[in-house]
Chains A and B, each alone.
Chain A
Amino acid sequence: NAGVTQTPKFQVLKTGQSMTLQCAQDMNHEYMSWYRQDPGMGLRLIHYSVGAGITDQGEVPNGYNVSRSTTEDFPLRLLSAAPSQTSVYFCASRTVEDYGYTFGSGTRLTVV
């Protein structure tokens, strides 16, 4: 039981490049979310999903896309990277009953 697995752990992108951050969970959790963590700003919700085929925007969705084709996977796509997207990205999942999110270990992204 691996929990929430994120890849890669570190990534450097050039401005304008695109990439996909991978997230997979093996706990059969219905809800999955992507957060970004920036100094002094806590965690901000980018996108979330309440089940396969269902996604919605969080508070900072611009520049990011998501899809949820299976219960296990919830990839985050950066369409055209910008320096403002330099951050640490966390994927998290939880059950419908809401006893707290389980977080992955994060992806540290730098856009130059």
Chain B
Amino acid sequence: GEDVEQSLFLSVREGDSSVINCTYTDSSSTYLYWYKQEPGAGLQLLTYIFSNMDMKQDQRLTVLLNKKDKHLSLRIADTQTGDSAIYFCAESLSGTYKYIFGTGTRLKVLA
């Protein structure tokens, strides 16, 4: 079945780059997404990438997609304490209305 996997925790120092990784199983995914969840809040869409793209950059965020390995990554440049949150990777399954979410990666930024 469909599955999206992420590592549970990542800790970085303020000012460093963060890289959050995700692997997925459905090769027919149309879009892949990154969401951010702060404590007590809902999920906020950060960025998305269409499945025929390799890279997308949006200010401090860079998304890389390796379709051969079914691997998605989110790089946050110059990580700030305000970036501390849980980051979810999600895939939109082609031909359905469903998203499959990963379990989330908790990013902790150390001052």
A residues touching B (Cβ–Cβ < 8 Å)? 4, 31, 33, 35, 40-43, 45, 48, 50, 56, 58, 90, 92, 98-106
Contact: B98 with A58, CB < 8 Å?
A: yes
- CA distance in complex: A98, B98 (Å): 11
Contact: A100 with B48, CB < 8 Å?
A: yes
Count of chain B residues near A, Cβ 8 A: 21
Contact: B42 with A106, CB < 8 Å?
A: yes
Give A50 Cβ to nearest chain B Cβ, in Å: 6
A99-B48, A102-B45, A104-B42 are contacts. A48–B97 as well, Cβ < 8 Å?
yes
Q: Is the interface of A mostly helix, strand, loop or mixed?
A: strand
Contact: A100 with B98, CB < 8 Å?
A: no
B residues touching A (Cβ–Cβ < 8 Å)? 4, 30-31, 33, 35, 40-45, 48, 88, 92, 97-99, 101-104
Contact: A50 with B42, CB < 8 Å?
A: no
User: Of residues B40, B42, B44, B101, which shows the largest number of chain A Cβ atoms within 10 Å of its Cβ?
Assistant: B42
**Which chain B positions have C-beta within 8 A of A98?**
30-31, 92
- CA distance in complex: A103, B38 (Å): 13
Q: How many contacts between A and B, using CB within 8 angstroms?
A: 52
A45-B98, A98-B92 are contacts. A90–B31 as well, Cβ < 8 Å?
no
B43: which of A41, A56, A103 is its contact (CB, 8 Å)? A103
A42: which of B40, B98, B104 is its contact (CB, 8 Å)? B104
Contact: A105 with B33, CB < 8 Å?
A: no
- CA distance in complex: A42, B43 (Å): 11
